[in-house]
Structure 1
Amino acid sequence: MKLPATPRILSLLSLAVFLWIVYRVHSIAARDPTSVFFDPSTGYTPRYSAVRREQAAAFIARANSQDYAWTKAQEGQRRLCVGIPSMATRGPEYLQDAVGSLLEGLTEDERGEMYVVVFVPHSNPAVHGAYGQTWLSALTDHILTYNLSSPEEMKHVQEMEKEEGGEYREKGVFDYHYLLEHCAEQQAPYVAIFEDDIVAADGWFHRTLAALEEAETRSATEYASQTFLYLRLFYTEELHGWNSEDWLAYLATSFFVFIVPMGLLCYLRTQNAAANRILTNRVLLAIAASITTSIGLFFALGRITVHPLPTGISLMPEFGCCSQALVFPTTIIPSLAAFFASRRTGAPDVLLEDFARDKGGEDGLGKGLRWALSPSVVQHVGRESSKKDDFGEMSKYGMSVAETIWSFGFEDLKAGALRTEHGRVVREGS
């Protein structure tokens, strides 16, 4: 029997709406690593980072010309010291992307507020492919190499270089400490340490300054703290899913969402004859199934899809991988440097979390406050991990562990919108 025209049209419209919803859900959740609908071939596709690397390459090419000249850091105007340690094993291409993307698009005034130092942590810096290249000296304020006070210290560095895995153990901490202290001497209120296997978004500088101002205000007003430990400019959303530690809270919330409407319907059924006729056992069972399905779909969509971090800064005391881009108040660096010197070995990002736990409440200084900027303004593009233990490891997606250290929110940024925003901020500040 044929359906009347109107029901057929409604059925087709309902099907079309359903298919559109499924398409939209899949297209959104496919880029959410916490979702069961996550598609690695979509989520790990470099969209904005590919654009930014092209812009960085063009910028480096201009800087390689013999007559290139640009503003450097201005005395008395520095707001940020940018330190970039770069090992020879990375290769010069990574460093070019990092430096180029950090500087491309900056105005002369912005560049004047930023002291840029590239640290080549080798006893013989000439082993680094970028050392001595035109673009490196043209774009940076200083190329830092070891300037140690005694032959014994340099000999110790050479011994650390020879040690298998040394650059990831004692030498990694030594170098991080060395760069932090150099930046702390540059009379800027903040120090940013970037690994060299990153690209930065257009406008990262003005967004970072605004985030630092907000972090200062919120640390003082919400936590009565004089400072904070760091502002994170990169994190991976993969660690911010439905964490198993919170299963009881998820269960309680789900039970509440289910029991409240079902309880109201059952109560209405006992109090109203019309409702009793409509709300049959079969109808109630269908509603219960719909609510259960909706709860399941909510969790299946992924936490980043249904409950993302708000735009701006948020506290991130846990799951804040990794150390690709961190900004520290200069005032906290003496305590941090002393802590690194006392520990001597370990991964810098792990030691930072140890410092936050050990020193977090010391003198009420807020040394344990760790803020993160969302969306990330930095992307990790390395194919190898900075941690020795990750070399050769493969993730469940058939990629190296290092390749899955990825900011999915960064790739959603739009080049045109960022350039427009940057221009507007510059005009409003002038």
Structure 2
Amino acid sequence: MILLQANGTYDAKVQKAGLDYTTAIKACMNNGDAPYIAVFEDDVIFSNGWVARTVELLSDLEAQNEHWSDMRLFTPERSMGWSPTTVKLATFLSIAPAILAAVLIPRIRILRKAIDPRTVRWVVPIVVPLTVWFILEAGKYSIFPPSPGLHQQRWGCCTQAIVFSRKTLSEMVPCLDLTVLDRPYDLAIRDCAFSLNLHRWIAQPSLVQHLGFKSLINPNRSSADAVWSVSFEDMDGHAVLQQQKRLVQQIYGSSGILS
């Protein structure tokens, strides 16, 4: 018997959500023998052709003979931010040119003739750090958007739309039973996959959009913290429809296309 924390507390909500999620997974495991189990939250919408696209991505995964735990069909781009190491490196690179310019230009005759030291002293310390700052503030997704397809991502949040592999889910469930009571279940999934050395994947662009705003676990979430996908909104409707027709014919043959 599992005793939850006092009703209404943050811990109780986290535990209840985690137990509900693992119960749903176990119900799917105990009914049927489909090789994949997809779990969706009830506040999402799907792109055209998401089924065919998901089947294609799963086929790509199996072709790689991957030992994987899950593939997320929804990923908020803000979870693709710069790593702390990248931020530190960028900060160093924004300061280093100013120091080098101040030290080297006055001492090297050729540079002193070609470059006005006074200009360098003012321009480099301002322009270079500002450029680096603008790049960091723009966000990693804006500067280096991921290419369409599968991307391995062991970290990342959110469980709005996940496809699990039945082969490895049997390994995951015992671990989830032990971890969902002391952390949000998206973190429990991440930690269990990590401990079992299972790869995690995301689909790009997202095939699912999250419409929910309020969170049971975090009811005070502001609009700035809304969880949604930019890549889903950026998809071209006509291109998606053409891709859907191509994939349906490729997977199911001409009989799968409605006239």
Residue 374 of structure 1: aligned partner: 204
Q: SS state of the match for residue 409, structure 1?
A: helix
Letter in 2 for 1:345: L
Residue 256 of structure 2: aligned partner: none
Q: 1:298 to 1:331 in 2, by over 3 A?
A: same
> Is the 1:298–1:306 Cα contact (8 Å) retained in structure 2?
yes
Alignment pair present for 1:207 and 2:53: yes
Letter in 1 for 2:44: I
Distance 2:85 2:42 in 1: 34
Residue 243 of structure 2: aligned partner: 421
Shift of 1:246: 4.0
Distance 1:279 1:163 in 2: 69
Alignment pair present for 1:296 and 2:141: no
Residue 334 of structure 1: aligned partner: 170
> Is the 2:101–2:121 Cα contact (8 Å) retained in structure 1?
no
Alignment pair present for 1:189 and 2:29: no
> Is the 1:215–1:371 Cα contact (8 Å) retained in structure 2?
no
Residue 384 of structure 1: aligned partner: 214
5+ residue gaps in structure 2? 254-259
Letter in 2 for 1:207: R
Distance 1:241 1:380 in 2: 19
Residue 230 of structure 2: aligned partner: 408
Shift of 1:252: 4.0
Shift of 1:342: 3.8
Q: In the alignment, which of 294, 302, 323 is matched to residue 159 of structure 2?
A: 323
Shift of 1:286: 6.5
Percent identity between the aligned chains? 24
Q: 1:231 to 1:409 in 2, by over 3 A?
A: same
Q: SS state of the match for residue 357, structure 1?
A: helix
Q: 1:212 to 1:262 in 2, by over 3 A?
A: farther
> Is the 1:231–1:327 Cα contact (8 Å) retained in structure 2?
yes
- Flag the structure with more relative contact order, 1 or 2, with Cα contacts below 8 A and sequence separation at least 6: 2
5+ residue gaps in structure 1? 1-155, 221-225, 361-366
Residue 359 of structure 1: aligned partner: 196
Shift of 1:163: 5.3
Shift of 1:344: 6.1
Q: SS state of the match for residue 68, structure 2?
A: coil
Distance 1:427 1:292 in 2: 52
Distance 2:247 2:116 in 1: 60
Q: SS state of the match for residue 341, structure 1?
A: helix
Q: What is the number of equivalent residue pairs in this alignment?
A: 245
Moved more, 207-216 or 415-424: 207-216
Q: In the alignment, which of 162, 172, 192 is matched to residue 17 of structure 2?
A: 172
> Is the 2:17–2:185 Cα contact (8 Å) retained in structure 1?
yes
Shift of 1:195: 0.6
Q: In the alignment, which of 54, 65, 71 is matched to residue 231 of structure 1?
A: 71
Q: SS state of the match for residue 136, structure 2?
A: helix
Shift of 1:326: 0.9
